[in-house]
């Protein structure tokens, strides 16, 4: 579905991503783990078209995403759930969702409403809060709203940037459950996480990003077993 | 039947993406963790972060057996010893021993890849599998053992030797799959014959043979004598052990586990890649090994890649059975000739015996090769014309197989010296 080859990108003269190669097959949950500042968010932003590509390739369903604007990336079926949710806090929950479905509005009448129903099914709590201002929601609910908003565009690939940030462990658990549920419904998920253990726990495969480079990749279970990953990201010491 | 359909039947483009990702991370790891590779890369001015496509593979340096010896025992390990859960070693019959290591993940992958090979060869979890490879430092026994367990078959870890006991257990335990070297399979068959055991009374169905080169003729003989379907599988401890490649039931070449190993075929003299489909030396790069990754390891084994689709549905390319060792290779008029090629031609021609000699001389600065072939006695009683026809036929077929013309002389049965074990069939009289 998504193929990234030798991707390099950065800000001004600062090269953040160094020769990144990765891919996602349909129906997979793939996670990118790494420390703060490793380049995880930059990678998602580059795929989304928010950061310019310096070199390399991004193929999404065989379309070249390199020179495409963020809105066209969404139209192509690739949506981002940004870090820190970034919901429109002065708008209601439902208005947030309608905005997320803006590309559907042009296509077919009633499509937006159908999609809102689907999102409410997935996140019943959002239905309860439909008329509430998004800014009044709890952190976990805002995360669900951000995910719901991204799903409104009916993406074939949904990219999530640190969905667990700032959430209580119990809420994180339920968010990750939803991600698994999304996959069971046939969605494909690219999950960027600092919480390596939780992310590898639900992912099929993973990539380890360190100072802009992918230093390890593999099946999620293998990465959980890898001693370097354990030492660096799972907080397990060698004398375990 | 596939063990991991999503990996064995990948489309080429997806496979190459996966190979590139894995290769890039392997290069990063060896450059970071193995001083030998770091030094090598530096010597040739190779930037490990600059590697961008599989096409650049030939820019990487080769690794040879001697590199392993010089770094004996742990010099080429890419992880600290505390992460290693298994150590194997080659016997060192051709010099000092070499040592390889495995992490927990390596063992897991190894088991899985052997399970693929077993599945391709017909074995399922319902089989009773007798593993008559030596258990120990040699990778054969444990490799097949873990793969068969992973598959869920009932494993009899009998190890090698004590042929009568092998046969007893084969009968009593109702073994359905036999794993050993092809020559040992024949020995078991012959011993059964001597003991007067009816092969049809056995439960044996499958035979997975490897760890030494064998031929199509030998396969036919084993199949007939043991009434089984025999398949070939390939691996070497420097790369992992068994599980690198294995035949499916089409019995026409060994599927390579290309998502874990990158294969190249090179000309052993020029070290350049051969034309697609040509015979040459197999060079293997590991893509997932953690403890003991190798970059472009020269196996000294001769084979050829088969890229045509296979009837079994697997898309992984195949290699032919091992055609010989580079050490046996002859160069006649600049053309690489392998004794096994000659053997194959002779095997196809009626009236010849599978005994031959190749004599290479130099006349007027030109290479001249003569193949001495034993023929059945009756040929010598025939008219000269028939003898001439046979010589012409052999010459013609050899020329087309080898790509260089050679002389042929017929000799009587049992006039060429016989060998026990590895024979010396080439007499090179050239003074170079």
Picking from B19, B52, B262, the residue whose alpha carbon sits closest to that of residue A5 is B52
Considering only the beta carbons, identify the residue of B17, B25, B290 that sits closest to A23.
B17
Is the separation of the CB atoms in B129 and B179 below 8 Å?
Answer: yes
Picking from A185, A135, A140, A182, the residue whose alpha carbon sits closest to that of residue A159 is A182
Q: Is A21 on the interface with B (CB under 8 A)?
A: yes
Distance from CA of A161 to the nearest CA of B (A): 22
- Residue A64's DSSP bridge partners are A59
Q: Residue B333 belongs to what H/E stretch?
A: none
Cβ-defined contact of A215 to B28 (cutoff 8 Å): yes
Considering only the beta carbons, identify the residue of A5, A215, A227 that sits closest to B25.
A215
**What pLDDT score was predicted for residue A240?**
43
Q: Is B20 on the interface with A (CB under 8 A)?
A: yes
For chains A and B, CB pairs below 8 A equal 53
Q: Which CATH architecture has domain A72-233?
A: 3-Layer(aba) Sandwich (3.40)
Chain A CA closest to residue B31: A215
Cβ-defined contact of B79 to A18 (cutoff 8 Å): no
Q: CA-CA distance, A18 to B200, in Å (whole number)?
A: 63
Task: Spell out the domain ranges in chain B.
Answer: 99-325, 330-428
Cβ-defined contact of A225 to B104 (cutoff 8 Å): yes
- Cβ neighbours of B49 in A, within 8 Å: 18-19, 213
Q: Looking at the domain B330-428, which fold is it?
A: GMP Synthetase; Chain A, domain 3 (3.30.300)
- Cβ neighbours of A32 in B, within 8 Å: none
Which of B5, B21, B26, B101 to mutate against chain A (most A CBs within 10 Å)? B21
Q: CA-CA distance, B359 to B340, in Å (whole number)?
A: 15
- Give start and end residues of each alpha helix (H) in B2-74: 5-8, 12-33, 35-43, 65-70
Q: What are phi and psi of A198, to 5 degrees?
A: -65, -45
Q: Kindly indicate whether the ipTM for this predicted assembly is greater than 0.85, answering yes or no.
A: yes
Residue ranges of chain B whose pLDDT lies below 70: 91-95, 354, 419-423, 431-432
**What pLDDT score was predicted for residue B93?**
52
In the 3-class helix/strand/coil scheme, how is A75-92 assigned residue by residue?
Answer: HCCEEEECCCCCCCCCCE
Considering only the beta carbons, identify the residue of A5, A213, A225 that sits closest to B105.
A225
Cβ-defined contact of B28 to A213 (cutoff 8 Å): yes
- Cβ neighbours of A216 in B, within 8 Å: 25, 29
Angle (CA) B137-B143-B148 rounded to 5° is: 145
CB atoms closer than 10 angstroms to residue B413: 14
Q: If you ran DSSP here, which 8-state letter would residue B66 be given? A: H
Contacts of B321 (CB under 8 A, 6+ apart): B213, B214, B215, B216, B232, B253, B254, B303
Per-residue pLDDT of chain A (240 residues; tens, 9 = 90+): 999 999 999 999 999 999 999 999 999 999 999 998 999 999 999 999 999 999 999 999 989 998 889 999 999 999 999 999 999 999 999 999 999 998 888 777 788 999 999 999 999 999 999 999 999 999 999 999 999 999 999 999 999 999 999 899 999 999 999 999 999 988 999 999 989 999 999 999 999 999 999 999 999 999 999 988 988 887 765 444
Cβ-defined contact of B25 to A217 (cutoff 8 Å): yes
The torsion of the CA quartet B309, B310, B315, B318, rounded to 10 degrees, works out to: -100
Angle (CA) B341-B236-B240 rounded to 5° is: 150
Cβ-defined contact of B21 to A25 (cutoff 8 Å): no
| Residue owning tokens 């043979």 | B209
**What pLDDT score was predicted for residue A238?**
44
Q: Is B259 on the interface with A (CB under 8 A)?
A: no
Q: Coil, strand, or helix at residue A2?
A: strand
Cβ-defined contact of A215 to B288 (cutoff 8 Å): no
Range B99-325 has CATH code 3.40.50.12780: yes
For A49, A57, A72, A151, B394, the CA distances from A77, given in Å and listed in that order, are 13, 18, 9, 10, 64
């Amino acid at each position: 579905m998504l193929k990234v080859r030798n991707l390099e990108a950065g800000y001004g003269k600062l090269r953040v991503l160094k020769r990144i190669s990765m891919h996602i097959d349909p129906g997979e949950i793939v996670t990118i783990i790494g420390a703060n500042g490793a380049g995880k968010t930059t990678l998602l932003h580059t795929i989304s078209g928010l950061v310019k590509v310096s070199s390399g390739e991004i193929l999404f369903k065989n379309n070249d995403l390199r020179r495409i604007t963020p809105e066209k990336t969404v139209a192509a079926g690739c949506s981002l759930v940004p870090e820190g949710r970034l919901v429109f806090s002065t708008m209601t929950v439902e208005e947030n969702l309608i905005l997320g479905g803006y590309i559907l509005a042009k296509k077919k009448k009633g499509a937006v409403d159908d999609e809102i129903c689907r999102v409410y099914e997935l996140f019943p709590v959002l239905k309860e809060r439909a008329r509430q201002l998004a800014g009044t929601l709890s952190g976990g609910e805002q995360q669900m709203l951000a995910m719901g908003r991204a799903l409104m565009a009916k993406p074939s690939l949904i990219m999530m940037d640190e969905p667990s940030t700032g959430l209580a462990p119990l809420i994180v658990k339920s968010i990750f459950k939803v991600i698994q549920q999304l996959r069971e419904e046939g969605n494909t998920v690219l999950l960027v996480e600092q919480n390596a253990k939780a992310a590898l726990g639900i992912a099929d495969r993973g990539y380890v990003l360190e100072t802009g480079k992918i230093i390890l990749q593999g099946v999620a279970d293998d990465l959980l077993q890898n001693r370097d990953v354990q030492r660096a990201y799972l907080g397990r010491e060698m004398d375990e | 039947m596939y063990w991991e359909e999503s990996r064995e039947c990948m489309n080429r483009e997806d496979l190459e993406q996966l190979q590139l990702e894995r290769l890039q991370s392997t290069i990063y790891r060896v450059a970071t963790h193995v001083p030998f590779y770091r030094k090598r890369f530096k010597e040739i001015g190779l930037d490990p972060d600059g590697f961008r496509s599989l096409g650049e593979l030939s820019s990487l340096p080769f690794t040879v057996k001697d590199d392993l010896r010089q770094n004996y025992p742990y010099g080429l390990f890419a992880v600290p010893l505390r992460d290693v859960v298994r150590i194997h070693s080659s016997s060192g019959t051709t010099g000092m021993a070499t040592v390889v290591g495995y992490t927990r993940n390596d063992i897991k992958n190894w088991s899985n890849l052997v399970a693929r090979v077993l599945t391709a060869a017909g074995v399922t979890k319902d089989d009773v599998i007798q593993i008559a490879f030596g258990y120990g430092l040699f990778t054969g026994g444990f490799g097949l053992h873990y793969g068969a367990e992973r598959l869920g078959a009932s494993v009899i870890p009998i190890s090698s030797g004590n042929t009568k006991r092998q046969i007893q257990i084969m009968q009593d335990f109702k073994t359905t799959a036999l794993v050993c070297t092809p020559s040992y399979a024949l020995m078991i068959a012959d011993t059964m014959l001597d003991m007067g055991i009816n092969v049809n009374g056995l439960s044996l169905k499958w035979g997975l043979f490897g760890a030494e080169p064998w031929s199509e003729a030998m396969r036919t003989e084993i199949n007939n004598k043991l009434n089984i379907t025999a398949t070939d599988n390939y691996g070497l401890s420097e790369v992992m052990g068994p599980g690198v490649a294995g035949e499916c039931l089409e019995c026409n070449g060994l599927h390579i586990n290309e998502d874990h190993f990158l294969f190249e075929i090179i000309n052993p003299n020029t070290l350049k890649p051969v034309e697609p489909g040509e015979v040459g030396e197999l060079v293997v790069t590991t893509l997932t090994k953690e403890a003991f990754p190798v970059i472009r390891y020269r196996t000294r084994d001769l084979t050829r890649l088969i890229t045509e689709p296979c009837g079994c549905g697997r898309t992984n390319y195949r290699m032919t059975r091992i055609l010989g060792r580079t050490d046996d290779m002859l160069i006649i008029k600049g053309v690489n000739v392998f004794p096994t090629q000659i053997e194959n031609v002779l095997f196809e021609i009626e009236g010849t015996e599978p005994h031959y000699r190749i004599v290479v001389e130099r006349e007027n600065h030109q290479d001249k090769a003569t193949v001495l072939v034993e023929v059945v006695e009756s040929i010598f009683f025939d008219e000269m014309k028939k003898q001439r026809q046979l010589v012409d036929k052999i010459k013609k077929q050899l020329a087309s197989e080898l790509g260089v013309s050679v002389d042929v002389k017929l000799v009587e049965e049992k006039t060429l010296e016989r060998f026990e074990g590895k024979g010396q069939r080439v007499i090179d009289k050239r003074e170079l």
